[in-house]
Amino acid sequence: MNLDYPLAHLMGGVILMCAFSMLSQRRLAAMITLYQVQALTLSAAAFWQGFAQGAGDLYLTGLITLVIKGILLPMGMRQIVQRFNMVRAVETAVPVGFSMILGVGLIGIAVLVVLPTTVSAVSLTREDLAISLSVVLLGLLVMTLRRNAIAQVIGFLSTENGLVLAATGMPGMPFVAELSVALLVLLAFLVIGVFLFRIREHFDTLDLVGIEEIERRGR
Amino acid sequence: MNLCLPAVFLPLLAAPAIGVFGTRAQGALANLALNVIVFGFTVGVFFEPGSGLIHADDLGMIFGALTSFVCMTTALSNLGFVWSGNEVLSLRRWRVYHAMCQVVLGSTLLGLYADNIGLLWVAVEGATIAATVGVSLSRTASALEAAWKYFILGGVGIALALFGTMLVYLAAQPALGPGLAAMSFTALGAHATKLDGSLLTLAFVFLLFGYGTKAALVPLHGWLPDAYAEGPIPLTTALSTLMLNVALIAILRFRHLMQANFAGGGGALQPGVFLLTLGLASLLLTAFSLSRRRDARRFFGFSSIEHSGIAVFAFGIGGPAAIFGGLLHMLVHTLIKSALFQALMRGAALRGSAAPGNYSFSHLRGMIHSNKYLGWLLGGCVFALTGLPPSGLFASEFIIISQTIQRDPYVSLPLGLGLVLCAVAIIRHVGPLVFGHAPPHTKHQKAGVGINLAGLQLALGFGIAFAMPWFLLNALSSVAAALQ
Amino acid sequence: MRLPARRLVCYGLVVGNSFALMFGLPGQGMHLRLDALSVLFLCILVPQIVASALAERRGSIAFWVFAGAMVLTLLAGDAFTLIFGFELMSAASWLLVLRGDARPATLYAGMAMFSAACLIPAVFLPASSLAFMLVLLGAGAKAGLAPLHFWLPRAHPAPPAGVSALMSGGMVKVSLYILIRYGFIEFGAAAQPWWGSVLIVAGAASVLIGALRAMLEVELKTMLACSTVEHVGLIAVGLGIALRAKAMGNLDLASLALQGALLCAVAHGLFKPMLFLGAGAVKKATGTTSLDWLGGLMRGMPRLGLLMLAGAAGMAALPLGPGFAPEFLLLHAVIKAAATGGILARIGFTALLAGLGLSAALALGAVVRLIGIGFLGRPRSLHAAAAGDANRATLAGMGFLAALCVPVALLPGVVLGMMEPVIQLLAPNSAPAPLSYAPLSLFLLLAAAAAAAFFGLRRFAVRGTREVPAWTCGFGSPPAWLPFGDPLTQPSATGFAEPVRRAIARGVLAPQGVDPAEAYLLFPLSQVSLRLTRVAEHIRRSTIRQRLAFVFVALVMFLLALGLSEGG
Amino acid sequence: MGMFLLRLVATLLHIGLVFALAPLLMGLVTKLRARLLGRRGPPVVQPYRNLRRLLHKTTLVPDTATDLYPIWPFVCFTATAGAAMLVPGFSLGLLTANVGDFITLIGLFALARGATMLAGMESGFGFGGAAAAREALFSVFAEAALLVILISFVLIAHSPTVDGVAAAFRNGQLGISVSLGFALAAMLAVALTETGRIPADNPAGHLELAMVHEAMLLEYSGRFLLLFEYAAMLRLMVWMCLIGTVFFPFGMARAGEILTWPGGLVLWAGKLGAMAVVLSLFEIGTAKMRVFRVPEFLGVAVLLGVLAGVFLFVAARIGG
């Protein structure tokens, strides 16, 4: 039983690293790859947690994560990138270096918030919570800093990963959470897909500049 | 038997059928029929609250009945909306639209009746997705943009809410042990003091942001005005009234957990500060955003932000009286706002088209010249939003202000300022909207019978606060006392 | 049935022998209560309602809601009923103003809500200086007390005359009723002398500005509204002196000042509605109320002219008119108050007395202008020349009020005697000095003199008169199409006010003769709100990313605060 | 009872004398002015002749006048006559003493002034209106000054009536002479303005543009003009009585004691004569002011009144 803590810690660290290095990427393809790695690690973590807590439903979670997020979603997004020919770099709102600094600050905040709060909870949960909170915040940061719709979607998905990571860490949490996360991701992907096509009908690119133009007109 | 289950699942199960079969008229009729049946169920819930995972406490009963009532009246005026045929949609989209109306209704009721924080979350998520699809239905650029905005911001909100939900579970799990018990409101409320206070506080922040996005509190309000302005207006009515209520009630329940834990020395922080901050922000930003709106639906979207801000402010003040005031405010505001949107829909239809984008004030002004009754009704609704008597909002705002003075005198200054500014910005529009010069070639027309229902709702919104039935009074007071 | 809501709202007023209504605040109901003060103000209010209903507006629902709400406010037995009636009054009058003239409606509604926003906290605070200041702000703003009076000369002339009459004569009194009830009864125990001083200063400012603008305004109804500001100021001065004296323990002076203030309220409640009804009749007959287009109305509408003359005599506080006795009492109260307090009080009250004299003479000038320009001389337009007398209903309403003026004018002692319970309620066990002004005997003296002159002339002078063309002051003879002479050759309302404008208005009013409150209070505030609106528009125009950023930043802020408050 | 009869007789005597001697006083002032200017001037009884001449002239009414045209002269005369009855002359304790006080007097003057102004606007031609506007401007400051002076009177004498003030001053505690001096100066300024004398207005002037009081009566003739003229004379009388009674109350008779009457009467005549001399001396010494200088002139009066009040306070404090 002395092995599960470092392993979980390691996987969490990997997931966090993926989320963090997403900030530094300018190319969509690279971001998608990072997301895939993150998702795969997450599924591994879910399996490991299931083994460690002896909870069967976590295996299912891991499976869902592996299939949908680790394989299907990246494929779909690569499709979109190909079709819309968006291999070129997308520009970010703030310089990359600055966004990295912000990311570090966010991680610091997450630790600051979580560590003192969970003095009573088990150490495993504490680690997971800090890490997953950082992942969530980093995902939001990516959404905030990227001007490109796909990039925002990726940031959103990485946020979801952080949620699942937290969920796997919850000892004995009923299945509701995982189910709904999966549901959310499915629906999210569907709706986003619909959107992308529609937006393609109206704007030639996925950049939100066109939308921002609409918004500029006072209403 | 437990009447909550049919009330929740009938619309949800019927939605796919409506989405696949039927002409648009049939769809509208089926929509209406389902709403009527569900209204019957929700009234029955008063006598059969049921028990278990999905059951109705007093709060659920009252607002469930209110929800289905508003949905029913909206569905009735929806008939006129459909038959006027202004909204040019393909048949497929009409089907989707009606299906989505049902999904919104079902998941809203689920959110009200669920005794499980996970289920509550699922319900809100479902309602969000349905509303998103609805908003995007008319494929204009601005509609898509509004829906996109709604999806991104709403999705973030949902994510935060889920995180908060899990944190609540984590806080409860040591005390209540793993399993469903740690996620049920009743169990949580019963053992509120035994929860891990600091973790609960963290959870509350995330829940506040998650459900606050749905309640459109500043600064989480970005999606609301556009979603209102671009969606089909019957759906907008549902959004403006029902989803706001669900989100606000969720916030109220979690606030109660935290307050009880704080009072019991569980180590949680006082929730008031967070709520007061967001409430005042909503109030004050709205006060200055209202004045330049040219589109009526955006305008009233902002006024919805204002009113949910007032409700959250009341929850933040705390104490039975303030909670009572907040709930009364939500109740009356729901009635008035839905009546207002139905009157707007009718008025825009009289002025040519009820399609989104035809709701600019310049297009609607001088309504009394199109139809006297409708003009007065519209003016009455807008006037009622200002909270001047005899509007029922006067009673609730009176209670809230008085409680603020007694419990927290200093925040009453920004509160009063915001209320006055908003009321002035709203009342400015009554004159032109009702008595102004109508656009050329306006002739007097019939308003149709459906409008009388809106009139009834407005009358309820005026009367219910001043002559409140005793059972409602008791129910609301006990809820307020329980959730203080 | 036990109402949990019983815990909800505490009473704002001590509910003594009150009468509860079933509906109202949830679980609380409404309470009505009648005491001497409410009775007095009801007596002020009811005749106006009767007269206005007699003159016009019989059918209008909003009018009756307005009147009923005022009565409800006066009968209120608890805070909720008070505020409810007060706001309902504002709402109904707002609708009436809106239907009359949409421009000032929003400003009016804004002021009404502002006063409610001040009153609601005030009635729930414990008796303290803050609470009284809030009441003063709220009730004062609604009563048109400087510096919050700028809305009144705009809003009161807007609706039809019957409503203007009721707003000017009644609504203002209702707000003063609230001021009195809270300043003297509810907060009476905690009263400080400086409360009164603040009230006096505000009142003096209103008196001066009101009288001056009444002298300068050209629109008849606007001019009447300005004079309402002046009279509200007079009443406020009286109340302030009474409050100060009561707090300093000088009950006799308090009762003297109260007599003046309340009698002034009664008299103003009689002649001001009369004048407004007359102005409405003038508008109906000539289509305008601008003095520069009137003139010579006395020929066309003699009966209305006489009634207006009676009301004007009251407005100018001339002896044997209804307005003189209150002014008399107030001046004596000021003189007596000058003997109390230190050197500052002495200088202040001396200056106040000068101000009162100034504005009394200004009021006389305004009245002379009103009658002389509007009703005497030659018509300035064909409408004025062709005006026919007012209809029977209007004359009946005005006559009713004029008849009620007579006892106030000739028997003020009796009226004061009837007011005694109120005085005792507000200033307990005080003994006011007897009124040293005997209008009845004065009237007899003057009547004797007039009769002597009349019969003397009949006896000794040659009888009869001969009508001759008036001397045209050397102007050329008017063209044929102007049967009543060239209007440009007779003094205009603007020209009549010119000396006063040059000598006084430049010192008191803002540049271009704008009301100082508008120039130095309203305008800056509107600038601020404009700037804030621009900020809000910037926020509203933000892109999706920026909106996400708002959410994100707010979340991080909250988390940071949380972490620091717990961890740090 | 006998007491009451005596007071009644005294009152009637006072009223009779005032009404009878008013023209004489006016004539006296005119005569003195002429003499001081080195002219012979009209006989002292000239005003009586003027009045009689007006009696026998037909009254002309301008065609543009309204039905109220005859009312104003009566109102103006009645108000002034009322003031004349209220102000005690040779004796204190008259029956009319308590009918009204200073404020009533001010009110009566205002009433008379208002009637005159309206009379000026009757015919609707330029000069009357212009003169009325000026009169309105003057009255604004005149009333302010009068009320301010009133403060020091009432605070010294503890009685608002002229009678009481005079009684108090006659028993004179003279610790407060400074403020009374200020008050006297202010009151004189007001009196000059109110009676339409130089420097505010020129009773002998004949240039319509410069006239104030006369210009308002341009359209009046015959018996109505008589009333106005007589009222003007009465006003001069009243003001002189007022100043004499308040500031020089020595030797005034008591209405209750018939033996004090002769002395009182003689002294009263003396005071009036002296004041007439002073007035004419002042009038030949000064020139008429521009219209917009008069407010400044009266503004000084107001300030003097305020100063009187302040010094009174100081004196009272020093006195203990």
pLDDT of residue A188: 64
On chain C, the residues whose CB falls within 8 A of the CB of D68 are 298, 305, 309, 376
Q: What is the pLDDT of residue B417?
A: 93
Is the CB of residue A164 less than 8 Å away from at least one CB of chain B? no
Cβ–Cβ under 8 Å, residues B166 and A118: no
Residue type at C251? L
How many domains does the structure of chain C reveal? 1
Q: How far is D191 from chain C (nearest CA, A)?
A: 16
- The whole-number average pLDDT for the span C338-359 is 91
- C-alpha distances (whole Å) from A173 to each of A56, A181, B114, B204 are 12, 13, 18, 19
Start-to-end Cα distance in chain D: 43
The 10s digit of each residue's pLDDT in C75-89 is 998 899 999 999 999
Residue C203 token pair: 């009142």
- Residue with tokens 């949902």, as numbered in its chain: B158
Mean pLDDT along residues C506-511: 84
Q: Which residue of C has its CA nearest to A138?
A: C552
Tally of domains in chain A: 1
Cross-chain CB nearest to C120 (options B156, B274, B402): B402
- Give mean pLDDT, residues B231-257: 88
User: How many angstroms separate the CA of residue D223 from the nearest CA in chain C?
Assistant: 7
Q: What is the largest CA-CA distance in chain B?
A: 71
Domain count, chain B: 1
For chain D, give the mean pLDDT: 89
Whether residue B230 lies within 8 A of chain A, CB to CB, comes out as no
C179: nearest Cα among C154, C127, C143, C211: C143
Concatenated DSSP letters for C507-524?
Answer: HHSPGGG--HHIIIIIHH
Complex-level ipTM: 0.90
Report the neighbours of C using a cutoff of 3 or more CB pairs below 8 angstroms.
A, B, D
What confidence score (pLDDT) does residue A202 get? 42
Whether cis (ω within 30° of 0) applies to the bond prior to D199 is yes
Token digits of residue D233: 């004379």
Model confidence pLDDT, tens digit, residues C238-275: 999 999 999 999 999 999 999 999 999 999 999 999 99
Residues B124, B139: Cα–Cα separation, whole Å: 25
Listed residue (B106, B12, B118, B170) closest to A179, CA to CA? B118
Query: Is residue B246 a contact partner of residue B214, using CB atoms and an 8 Å limit?
Result: yes
Tokens 């002769």, residue located: D262
Q: Specify the pLDDT at position B282.
A: 95
Say whether residue A215 is in contact with chain C using an 8 A CB cutoff: yes
Q: Which of C541, C548, C567 sits opposite A112 (nearest CB)?
A: C567
Q: How far apart are CA B319 and CA B214, in angstroms?
A: 24
Q: Does A54 touch chain B (CB under 8 A)?
A: no
Tell whether B250 is covered by a domain.
Answer: no
pLDDT for residue C4: 37
Both tokens of B279, joined, read: 């409430």
Name the range with the highest mean pLDDT among A23-37, B89-103, B344-358, D69-83.
D69-83
In a domain, A59, yes or no: yes
* Closest-CA distance of chain B to residue A155, Å: 10
Q: Which residues of B touch A198 (CB under 8 A)?
A: 136, 139, 144
Q: C96-105, D23-32, D304-313 — which is least confidently predicted? A: D304-313
Tell me the mean pLDDT in the region B267-274.
Answer: 87
Q: Which two tokens stand for residue A175?
A: 């299945």
C144's torsion region: left (phi>0), alpha (psi -120 to 50) or beta?
left
Phi, psi of A202 (to 5 degrees): -100, -40
Q: Which residues in chain B are contacts of C84 at CB distance < 8 A? A: 389, 394, 398
Residue D115 is inside which H or E element, if any?
helix D102-121
Q: C547 to chain A: nearest residue by CA? A: A144
- Which domain, by its residues, includes A116? 4-190
Closest listed residue to residue C376, CA positions, set D218, D73, D76, D121: D121
Closest CA to B402 of C122, C28, C138: C122
**Residue C299's Cα: distance from chain center in Å?**
31
Rg from Cα positions in chain D: 20
Range of weakest confidence among A23-27, A101-105, C528-532, C533-537: A23-27
Least-confidence region, from B81-90, B132-141, C204-213, D112-121? B81-90
Reading the block at residue A188, the tokens are: 């999210």
Is there a contact between B24 and B92 (Cβ–Cβ < 8 Å)? no
Distance from CA of A1 to the nearest CA of B (A): 21
Q: State which residues form the domain around B430.
A: 272-484
Closest CB to D124: pick one of C361, C368, C377: C377
**Across A89-93, B61-65, C129-133, least confident range:** A89-93
Average pLDDT over residues C541-553: 87
Secondary structure string (H, E, C) spanning chain B:
CCCHHHHHHHHHHHHHHHHHCCCHHHHHHHHHHHHHHHHHHHHHHCCCCCCCCECCCHHHHHHHHHHHHHHHHHHHHHHHHHHHCCCCCCHHHHHHHHHHHHHHHHHHHHHHHECEHHHHHHHHHHHHHHHHHHHCCCCCHHHHHHHHHHHHHHHHHHHHHHHHHHHHHHHHHHHHCCCHHHHEHHHHHHCHHHCCHHHHHHHHHHHHHHHHHHCCCCCCCCCHHHHHHHCCHHHHHHHHHHHHHHHHHHHHHHHHHHHHHHHCCCCCCCCHHHHHHHHHHHHHHHHHHHHHCCEHHHHHHHHHHHHHHHHHHHHHHCCHHHHHHHHHHHHHHHHHHHHHHHHHHHHHHHCCCCCCCCCEHHHHCCHHHHCHHHHHHHHHHHHHHCCCCCCHHHHHHHHHHHHHHHHCHHHHHHHHHHHHHHHHHHHCCHHHHHHCCCCCCCCCCCCCCHHHHHHHHHHHHHHHHHCCCHHHHHHHHHHHHHCC
Cβ D255 vs Cβ D6: under 8 Å: yes
Whether the Cβ atoms of residue D194 and residue D239 lie closer than 8 Å to each other: yes
Helix H or strand E segment including C122: helix C105-124
> Is the Cβ pair A214, B141 closer than 8 Å?
yes
Digit-coded pLDDT (tens) for C64-73: 999 999 999 9
In a domain, B237, yes or no: no
Q: How confident is the model at residue C12 (pLDDT cuts 50, 70, 90)?
A: very low
* Chains near D (3 or more Cβ pairs under 8 Å): C
Specify the number of domains making up chain D.
1
C498 assigned to some structural domain: no
Hey, how many other C-beta atoms are within 10 angstroms of the C-beta on D39? 10
Which residue out of A212, A213, A217 would a mutagenesis test of the C interface target, given it has the greatest number of C Cβ atoms within 10 Å?
A212
The token pair at C330 is 């107030």
Structural domain including D128 reads: 2-319
Strands D59-62 vs C465-468: parallel, antiparallel or unpaired: parallel
Is there a cis peptide before residue B390, judged by omega within 30 degrees of 0?
A: yes
Which residues from C are below 8 Å from B428, CB to CB? 106
H or E segment and range at residue A29: helix A28-53
pLDDT in tens, C115-170: 999 999 999 988 899 999 999 999 999 999 989 999 999 999 999 999 999 999 99
CA distance, residue C140 to nearest chain B CA (Å): 17
Q: Which residues of C touch A145 (CB under 8 A)?
A: 545
User: Residues 267-296, chain B: which have Cβ within 8 Å of C?
Assistant: 269, 274, 285, 288-289, 291-292
Residue-wise pLDDT for A37-50, tens only, equals 999 998 898 888 88
What is d(CA B310, CA B419) in angstroms, rounded to the nearest whole number? 9
Q: How far is residue C142's CA from residue B113's CA, in Å, rounded to a whole number?
A: 47
Rounded to whole angstroms, the Cα distance separating C292 from C288 reads: 10
Per-residue pLDDT for C6 more than 50?
Answer: no
**Residue A2 to chain C, least CA–CA distance (Å):** 29
Decide the pairing of beta strands C19-25 and C29-32: antiparallel
Q: Which two tokens stand for residue A174?
A: 């009923």
- Please tell me the distance from the alpha carbon of residue B277 to that of residue B286, in angstroms, as a whole number: 14
Please give the residue of chain C at the shortest CA–CA distance from A146.
C545
- pLDDT value of position A206: 46
Determine the length of chain C: 568
Phi, psi of C467, rounded to the nearest 5 degrees: -85, 130
Contact D161, D98 (CB under 8 A): yes
The answer to whether C80 contacts B430, with C-beta atoms less than 8 Å apart, is no
Residue B143 confidence (pLDDT): 80
The answer to whether the Cβ–Cβ distance between D143 and C335 falls below 8 Å is no
- Lowest mean pLDDT of B172-176, B276-280, C524-528, name the range: B172-176
Question: Does any CB of chain C come closer than 8 Å to the CB of residue D194?
Answer: no
**Which pLDDT belongs to residue C22?**
65
Residue C216 CA to residue C497 CA, distance in Å, equals 6
Mean pLDDT of the region C354-365: 94
Q: Do chains B and D touch (3 or more CB pairs under 8 A)?
A: no
Q: What pLDDT does A189 receive?
A: 56
pLDDT above 70: percentage of residues in chain C: 96
Range of the domain at C322: 19-430
Q: How far is CA B66 from CA B307, B380, B381, C27, in A?
A: 17, 21, 18, 21
CA dihedral C482→C484→C488→C489, nearest 10 degrees, is 130
Peptide bond into C412 cis (omega under 30): no
How far apart are the C-alpha atoms of B380 and C91, rounded to whole Å? 12
Question: Per the CB < 8 Å rule, is C354 touching D99?
Answer: no
Is A199 within a domain? no
- Name the residue facing C543 among A110, A115, A212 (closest C-beta): A212
Helix (H) or strand (E) segment spanning residue C20: strand C19-25
Chains A and B touch (3+ CB pairs under 8 A): yes
The Cα A166–Cα A178 span in angstroms is 10
Q: What is the pTM of this model?
A: 0.92
In this complex, which of A144, A145, A216 lies closest to C541 when CB atoms are compared? A216
Which has the closest alpha carbon to A136: A154, A161, A118?
A161
Whether residue A8 is contained in a domain is answered as yes
Whether D40 has a pLDDT exceeding 50, the answer reads: yes
Q: What is the pLDDT of residue C453?
A: 94
CB contact under 8 Å between C549 and A144, yes or no, is yes
B124 C-beta neighbours (distance < 10 Å), count:
27
Chain A closest-CA separation from residue B64 CA (Å): 24
Note the pLDDT tens digit of each residue in A119-146: 555 555 677 788 889 999 999 999 888 8
Put simply, the answer to whether C3 touches B430 (Cβ < 8 Å) is no
Question: C361 and D140: CB-CB below 8 Å?
Answer: yes
